[in-house]
Amino acid sequence: MKKLTGFLLIAAACCLAQPAAAQTSLKVLSYNILEGMVKDTTKGKIHFVAWVKALNPDVVALQECNGFTQKTLEELALSWGHPYAVIVKENGYPTGLTSRFPIADIRKVNESMTHGFIMARIEQYNFVVLHLNPHKYWKRRAEIAQVLKNIELQKDRKNWLIMGDFNSVSPLDKERLAQGGYLEKALAAAAKRPVLENLVNGKEIDFQVQQNMLSAGFTDAGHAWDKRETARTGKSAIATNSRIDYIYLSSDLAKKIGTCRFIYDDFTATHSDHKPIILELKN
């Protein structure tokens, strides 16, 4: 009887502990690290590594892995506990992907792309890590069409996460952009640097890249979570009027959003011109 009682107590304890352990099925960090995290000048990027380790993500998607090779990205990833890493190329402004779990079915697409994108499978999830052209709206449109066509050609229609620096704004943010004077700033930037072609016909905000993602059935995870939090607290958690970094989810994963937020802390205030996004998916 004592043995049975002991077994039941252990079983009960396990059952009680299970939901807390299994609540979050995946934690993903996406970050444009500014030319290979040049502002962390320490050997081995120890400040960057300590910051990532504290967040403890399962997957890290990086943009601007400047100066990294496959070998050095693997070494950096291992220092924060990820034994798997992939870099799209070893020159320019590459995208990168690191993971706690094996990375499979890897595709590196550089043709007709400014910075390239990675497609890969981690566990049951399909990942795309991208960085679109920063200066030409028409080039970004072509690049996102190429990304979406590659996704369309895959047999699996579920468990998709598409993330990175899209260098474009969303129609979901029209009010926020107007409040922040986005158009006026873009016009001023174009007048100062005529090489920039970020406005349609030189005068209109281009929403097409983000609209293509939405029209393809993907959910803007950051917007979805912020809308939910704003309804709950009465205050938006997005502290910028012109976000260009996103995590998109297929409709099946959109139902599992735990949180999806920008990270504002002492590290992100000084180490990049972008703010990272962290997503937690629940079972």
CB-count exposure of residue 92 (10 Å: 0-12, 13-18, 19+): middle
Residue 14 lies in a domain: no
Q: How far, CA to CA in Å, does 75 sit from each of 45, 125, 182?
A: 11, 24, 40
Residue 138 lies in a domain: yes
Residue 4 lies in a domain: no
pLDDT of residue 137: 98
pLDDT digits (tens, 9 = 90+) for 91-115: 999 999 999 999 999 999 999 999 9
**In the chain, pLDDT over 90 holds for what percent of residues?**
87
Task: Tokens for 237, please give them.
Answer: 């958690």
User: Could you say which DSSP state residue 136 is in?
Assistant: B
pLDDT of residue 24: 55
* Residue 85 φ/ψ, nearest 5 degrees: -155, 150
HEC secondary structure over 148-206:
HHHHHCCCCCCCEEEEEECCCCCHHHHHHHHHCCHHHHHHHHHHHCCCCECEECCCEEC
User: Could you say which DSSP state residue 244 is in?
Assistant: -
Residue 10 lies in a domain: no
pLDDT of residue 21: 39
How many structural domains is the chain composed of? 1
Average pLDDT over residues 225-237: 92
CATH number at residue 67: 3.60.10.10
Range of the domain at 167: 26-282
User: Could you say which DSSP state residue 123 is in?
Assistant: T
Work out whether strand 59-63 and strand 24-32 pair parallel, antiparallel, or are unpaired. parallel
Residue 9 lies in a domain: no
* Nearest to 95, CA basis, from 44, 140, 31, 28: 31
Residue 56 lies in a domain: yes
Residue 3 lies in a domain: no
Determine the Cα angle at 168 with ends 165 and 130, to 5°: 30
pLDDT of residue 8: 39
Residue 20 lies in a domain: no
